[in-house]
Structure 1
């Protein structure tokens, strides 16, 4: 089996640190120690700690988008919209530090609504948007701007997850998942035509 190249090893080590300790736990020195390089050698692959964190975030966006894209075909659009929102929850619970950094931390490179979304710069929102467009074309949702509807779905899902992660629910994960599903279904019922 081929050994991963140095960049991949750096990313794997940085992501492992990120998963355990969050963004604050990722330093060039810790990553270098984990990979067996000098801290200065890391800079040949990533200009800065921020560039390394951005790459981890970008990779996580693409990871979510791939999972969502796998649900693009098949069942009806409403079922697929619910599936994308469940995957979002799965990701948040499985990778809380990555989720927080990708979706909850203020960053200069964060995509802005509506211009970046309408320019299709968000790999995750693009998948949801395309299913919303399909649902609108089939008359399953009330007429509206597809990007506005996409953002409404995301804001609802994200708000629930943020509240759960902040300890505002007395549910365990299983109970929260049930509440989350019901809440998302309720929201979609209100958006149906």
Structure 2
């Protein structure tokens, strides 16, 4: 592993430990086995390292999503939901850098997502639109559906991380899978409850 990669890995762990506000270059350097000044050979300042750590974390998440092989739109959506929970459980430092901590890499709703700046959300909205076109999901704004889908998964992930589930990993994954199935079933094409305007 290169020194730069080691610094990034240690930076992600430090982010998970201390958050962006408490992020310490000195702690990163100690964990990486280098002097604090040596970090500046690779990153110009603290903000540049935070940004690079965020980019690395999002690249890890994107690779997980790109590895999904399910062909049907709904099957793919189920699998990406499971992948999100697995990412939170397997790589908490990367998950936090993507979805909990501000590193200036994160995309903001709605403009960044409407502009296609989030590759994963673009893939999710594409599958939602395909399912809608095939009358598998109700008509509506695919991006809003993606946001609600993501929010439900994120809530479950954070509740688990905060110790609110007294269950082993397989049972928790089964619970989240049922949650995904229920959400997709509730959104299946059919009689629609009108959305509230305010």
Kindly tell me: are residues 29 and 173 of structure 1, through their superposed partners in 2, closer, same or farther at Cα, counting changes over 3 Å?
Answer: same
| Residue 44 of structure 1: how far off its partner (Å) | 3.2
**Please, which of 178, 181, 184 is the counterpart of residue 182 of structure 1?**
178
Aligned to 1:42: 39
Q: Is this contact kept in 2: 1:61–1:102, CA < 8 A?
A: yes
Distance in 2, matches of 1:88 and 1:40, equals 36
How far the C-alpha of 1:91 sits from its partner, in A, is: 0.5
Pick one of 164, 167, 170 that aligns with 1:168: 164
CA–CA distance in 2 between the matches of 1:104 and 1:152?
Answer: 17
Q: Distance in 2 between matches of 1:109 and 1:159?
A: 21
What is the DSSP-based 3-state SS (H/G/I as helix, E as strand, rest coil) of the residue aligned with 1:168?
A: coil
Q: Distance in 2 between matches of 1:50 and 1:122?
A: 21
- For 1:9-28, what aligned pairs fall within 5 Å after superposition? 9-15=6-12, 17=14, 21=17, 23=19, 27-28=24-25
Aligned residues: 188
Q: Is the 8 A contact 2:54 2:103 kept in 1?
A: no
Instruction: Indicate the RMSD between aligned Cα atoms, in angstroms.
Output: 2.4
Instruction: Could you tell me which runs of 5 or more consecutive residues in structure 1 were left unpaired when the two chains were aligned.
Output: none
Relative to structure 2, which stretch is displaced further, 55-64 or 28-37? 28-37
Cross-structure match for 2:81 = 85
Could you say what secondary structure the match of 1:43 adopts? helix
Q: 2:112 aligns with which of 116, 121, 127?
A: 116
1:148 aligned residue: 144
- Residues 98 and 23 (structure 1), Cα distance of their counterparts in 2 relative to 1, 3 Å cut: farther
Partner of 1:68: 65
TM-score by length of 1: 0.83
Match of 1:31 in 2: 28
* Map of 1:7 onto structure 2: 4
Q: 1:141 to 1:57 in 2, by over 3 A?
A: same
* Residue pair 1:22, 1:98 contacting (<8 A) in 2 also: no
The gaps in structure 2 that reach 5 residues or longer are 190-198
* Cα shift at 1:147: 0.4
From the superposition, tell whether residues 109 and 8 of structure 1 become closer, same or farther in structure 2 (CA, over 3 Å): closer
